[in-house]
Amino acid sequence: MTVDEKQNAYYDILRHETALIAYLDITNMFHWQNVLGWRFRIESVIKQLLSFPSVKEVKAYYGVNERDLASSLAFHKRIRLAGATLRSKPMKFIRKNIDQAFLFKRSTMTLFNDGITSKVHELVEEIRKTGLVIEEPKCNFDVEMAMDIMDDAEKVSGVILYSGDSDMAAPLERLKLKGKKVYIVGVRNMTAGELHKVKDRYIDFGRFYDGKRNYL
């Protein structure tokens, strides 16, 4: 099946639904870009979804970076202008410890011989000497998305989830007990097995997305 044929098959499925709501975990989606090899425009994602009469609402979830407030609010504005409902909260920044575990999992370290292990220790010490501070932004919306999905259950014939997070499997299982359809949008190797088990249909984002692509 060609890309166009696959896309048309996805379109036919969504057109035959009665009432859908799409839930976009934008941070999760941004991780897809490294696998895809190109960047997407969030406005194109939203507008594509809203072009289907069956899609009654698009709900987007993305944090606000108070350290770069102007850019963050500008991005939020783009989401709203495209027609999505945005749920947000401040990002947290988690300071990372510079140690062996920062570079390699413990299970991986056990595979190294003494020479390699020693070099890893030396590298860690050199990084520490620089005084480098590494902070990881964190803003998880699993709880908010799960609550919204359950609150919306009586309004829809199905949901479209743009996320690969296994934590979303439980609310989706509850939704299926109510007779609702579950469509998971994702990319290869970045969609949890738990989501594949609960889905009615998996939609390959790379084949479904019809907006502009900026190649990396």
Spell out the residues 6+ positions from residue 150 whose beta carbon is closer than 8 angstroms to its own. Answer: 171, 174, 175
For residue 16, what pLDDT band results from cuts at 50, 70 and 90? Answer: very high
Q: Which residues pair with 57 in a beta bridge?
A: 21
Summarize the confidence of residues 138-158 as an average pLDDT: 96
- Cα(59)–Cα(42) distance, integer angstroms: 12
49 and 123 together in one domain: no
DSSP, collapsed to helix, strand or coil, labels residue 90 as strand
At 66-118, the pLDDT tens digits run 999 999 999 999 999 999 999 999 999 888 888 888 888 888 888 999 999 99
Q: Does the pLDDT at position 3 exceed 80? A: no
17 and 112 together in one domain: no
Summarize the confidence of residues 10-15 as an average pLDDT: 94
For residue 134, what pLDDT band results from cuts at 50, 70 and 90? Answer: confident
For residue 5, what pLDDT band results from cuts at 50, 70 and 90? Answer: confident
pLDDT score, position 38: 97
Summarize the confidence of residues 54-74 as an average pLDDT: 97
Place of tokens 């199905």: 158
Are the beta carbons of 16 and 181 closer than 8 angstroms? no
78 and 16 together in one domain: yes
Which CATH number is 178's domain given?
3.40.50.1010
Report the domain count for the chain.
Answer: 2
At 173-185, the pLDDT tens digits run 999 999 999 999 9
Spell out the residues 6+ positions from residue 138 whose beta carbon is closer than 8 angstroms to its own. Answer: 91, 92, 93, 94
Summarize the confidence of residues 154-167 as an average pLDDT: 97
65 and 121 together in one domain: no
Within 45-204, strands assigned E span: 55-61, 85-87, 92-95, 135-138, 158-162, 181-186, 201-204
Gyration radius (Cα) of the chain, Å: 20
Distances (CA, A) of 102 to 110, 121, 124, 211, 216: 15, 11, 9, 37, 26
Summarize the confidence of residues 134-138 as an average pLDDT: 85
144 and 188 together in one domain: yes
Decide the pairing of beta strands 181-186 and 201-204: parallel
Q: Which two structure tokens, joined as six digits, stand for 65?
A: 């970076």
* Arithmetic mean of pLDDT over the chain: 94
Enclosing domain of residue 121: 97-133
178 and 151 together in one domain: yes
pTM above 0.75, yes or no: yes
